[in-house]
Amino acid sequence: MAQRDARVALRDYRAWRAQATREGKSVGFVATMGALHDGHLKLVRASLEENDYTVVSIFVNPAQFAPTEDLASYPRTVESDIAKLASISHPSGRKVDTAFVPSVKEMYPNGFTQVVADQIGAFVEVKGLSHQMEGGSRPTFFRGVATVVTKLFHIIQPDRTYFGQKDIQQCVVLRRLVSDLVFSHPPSPEHFRVIPTGRDPKDNLALSSRNAYLTPDSRKVAPVLYRALRAGQEVWEQSHWSDTDKQERIKKTLDTARAVVLEEVDRCKQDGKSVDLKLDYISLNHPKTLENVESLLADKGASAIDVSQGAILSGAALISQGNGGKVTRLIDNLLLGFKL
Ligand SMILES: Nc1ncnc2c1ncn2[C@@H]1O[C@H](COP(=O)(O)OP(=O)(O)OP(=O)(O)O)[C@@H](O)[C@H]1O
Ligand SMILES: CC(C)(CO)[C@@H](O)C(=O)[O-]
Ligand code: BAL
């Protein structure tokens, strides 16, 4: 990787970035929490394709973890991450130039607590897009993400930035962030790239750093979330639906997807392997406003719903094995009738 030490300090990074600007070179940026897998590497390759320079950050951001979540045990594999980054090259010969691996002190110079009520200082919130879907179960998550990504964008000053569709709500929140806040050097919304979800080719499980928590038995169960979303998608895409069937189309799509997971929940209970699967949610949301289509239907009726712009079908499930076994949060989504 690069001619310089992969892990640059903040001050050195700023000097390097100023030089890139003077040379008129573009900088692509991939933000990660490390434990890199092929999904991350898709983002890195997309950046290498489009930019003169590529920067990857590795930072397990405490602000996006609730005190009850897995901050302490989140996989940290910096040495092998850096080796993976060094092994990738674009046909043009471009390679990752910089791995930015800051400390918590560098990112939160005035200290930090995970308890939101006790926090003092500057935090960034993206209202209206952060409380549903993942935000329903992780109410302070997007505040933590928006805060750290604001800091990272200020530091890295990317021309383009690459995020994964797997975390689709994160993409919608951050696109809105760069559109609403007038940074001196933002990646503009047009330069905010969303890369399709990388999956395990054998069963379509979305790649995720937290898949490292899965046991062999729970790994076999995990692809159920994708299968459920696909079953819902098939219903949504049936050719017979007309505009007057909106209510039934929404209900049947959600019921079908939920039933696939719930059947697997029952199967797990019966098969004696002590894999515990729980459905957190399966949700249909507007692609831009993220309004919950089912709630809108209940509150305002079918006439309030416009499916012409498509919908996001997303879900989350929790899976563990054995008493006290580590819980893995699985998330996934499919785009119904629109492209990002
Ligand atoms: N399977 C994937 N395909 C494409 N991009 C992905 C995939 N998984 C993660 N990413 C993207 O990589 C970036 C960094 O994600 P992160 O480091 O949190 O990895 P992760 O695998 O999502 O981890 P976690 O298990 O914490 O959810 C994000 O933009 C995320 O959407
Ligand atoms: C964007 C991000 C790196 C912020 O910590 C994280 O939420 C992630 O990896 O998706
Ligand atoms: N990719 C999302 C990071 C998180 O779950 O904290």
Q: What is the pLDDT of residues 124-166, one digit of tens each?
A: 999 999 999 999 999 999 999 999 999 999 999 999 999 999 9
Cα–Cα distance measured from residue 332 to residue 153, given in angstroms and rounded to the nearest whole number: 26
Mean pLDDT, consecutive 10-residue stretches, the chain (340 aa), reads: 54 90 96 98 98 96 96 95 94 94 91 93 97 97 98 95 98 95 80 97 97 96 98 95 90 98 97 95 97 94 89 98 92 94
- Structural domains for the chain: 10-195 (3.40.50.620), 209-336 (3.30.1300.10)
Structure tokens at 107: 């990112």
Atom of ligand 3 nearest to the CA of 69: 6
Pocket perturbation via mutation, ligand 3, pick of 167, 195, 208 by most ligand atoms within 8 A of CB: 167
What number of other Cβ atoms are within 10 A of residue 4's Cβ?
12
36, burial (CB in 10 Å: exposed 0-12, middle 13-18, buried 19+): buried
Atom of ligand 1 nearest to the CA of 163: 29
The predicted pLDDT at position 4 comes to 37
The predicted pLDDT at position 183 comes to 77
Catalytic residues: 40
**Spacing, Cα 245 to ligand 1 middle (Å):** 36
The predicted pLDDT at position 5 comes to 43
What number of other Cβ atoms are within 10 A of residue 53's Cβ?
23
The strand pair at 160-164 and 98-100 is best described as unpaired
What 3-state DSSP class applies to 38?
helix
